[in-house]
Amino acid sequence: MTTKPLAGLRVLELARVLAGPWCGQLLADLGADVVKVERAGVGDDTREWGPPFVEDKDGGYHGSAYYHSTNRGKRSIALDFNSADDQATIRRFAKHADVVIENFKVGGLVKYGLDYPSLKAVNPRIVYCSITGFGQTGPYAPRPGYDFIIQGMGGIMSLTGDPQGEPQKVGVAYADIFTGVYSTVGILAALRQRDATGQGSHIDMALLDTQVALLQNHSMNHMIAGVDPKRMGNAHANLVPYQVVPVSDGHIILATGNDGQYRRTCEVLGVPELVTDPRFVDNEQRVNNRDLLMPLLIARTVLFAKADLIEKLEAAGVPVGPINTVPEVFRDPQVVARGMRVDLPAPETRAGTLPSVRQPIVINGERLYGAHASPALGENQDDVMNDPNWGAGA
């Protein structure tokens, strides 16, 4: 692929921390020119979210690992949002931009003249994506939004964790990251609409909306059958056996999705009688009788070593897998073969390169990711200020 899909698209990122920058990074990976506008002297909050930090070639810090997880492929400039001159500069950029991404509190950009109505006045074709905790409307709209709180309010913590333990959040910023991905989808849809109408759009993205949307089968179980879903640890509400099971040297994931896979599981485990037992004959009965079935299966799984049982179940066509640590993930031959880790040029760092994890989109065999590592604060100030594509000299 000689040209990336979004080459020529200009994105102005007025966002910090995670959801907005995640969206911007994804657009940059796909070829957009993403200019990240940061507060002069301060920068994105996550630059200081460490340790660990990346060492620069002079022995100082080049930002936190957290910051570098979400700002690959962008250009950075530093401006003072309280300065009338810098506000005018941002409006000049917006006049030439296709997309603006911002995650200020609702109404927070009005005083700077950088809200959607103000920027639409200078560029009616602008696609303006606002990302907040609770959206632009509703009783919670003025509140700040944090992923942890959203996970609690949005129901996922009531579904995650040991049934006998406390509610658990997901181990990454689940609502933030998915909101960034959904924002990207919304932006691309709005750009397609602009192709047809010539008019831009205001996209209203909320972390809570995203989290509620991601409740998936649990929300439907509730709305259709009145179910009040509870924490089930590593079990599945609608499939059995579909959970973590113990083996002689640890645990594995057993994930049968149909009756045929269940039958083959029983054959591998040496309990063929459980296939025809009327209590377990189909998935409905297995869900209703999970507390009877699972101890019978576990009494057999613990007789096998991890690698041996995985090999036997895989050979029988049963979905099964290990539970990898993060280091094990990046040693996994499939992850290596798919090129998920990339080492990007970063001449300002001590190592000269910076490791990164590419996003999962592959088009025509090409794995797409930004061509350079995350920028230092204001690293591209002169380049962007003098770039005719962003209005210099106009």
Q: Considering 33, 98, 115, 176, which one is annotated as catalytic?
A: 176
Preceding peptide of 163 cis, ω within 30°: no
CB 339, CB 307: distance < 8 Å: no
Query: For residues 80 and 40, what is the distance between their CA atoms, to the nearest angstrom?
Result: 5
Which residues lie below 8 Å from residue 195, measured CB to CB, with a gap of 6+? none
* Strand pairing category for 362-363 and 366-367: antiparallel
Q: Report the alpha-carbon angle 207-211-213, nearest 5.
A: 115
**56 given a catalytic annotation:** no
Query: For residues 258 and 318, what is the distance between their CA atoms, to the nearest angstrom?
Result: 10
Which residues lie below 8 Å from residue 205, measured CB to CB, with a gap of 6+? 19, 129, 130, 131, 132, 135, 179, 182, 183, 186
Q: Say how many C-beta atoms besides its own lie within 10 A of residue 81's C-beta.
A: 18
Preceding peptide of 51 cis, ω within 30°: yes
Which residues are part of the catalytic machinery? 176
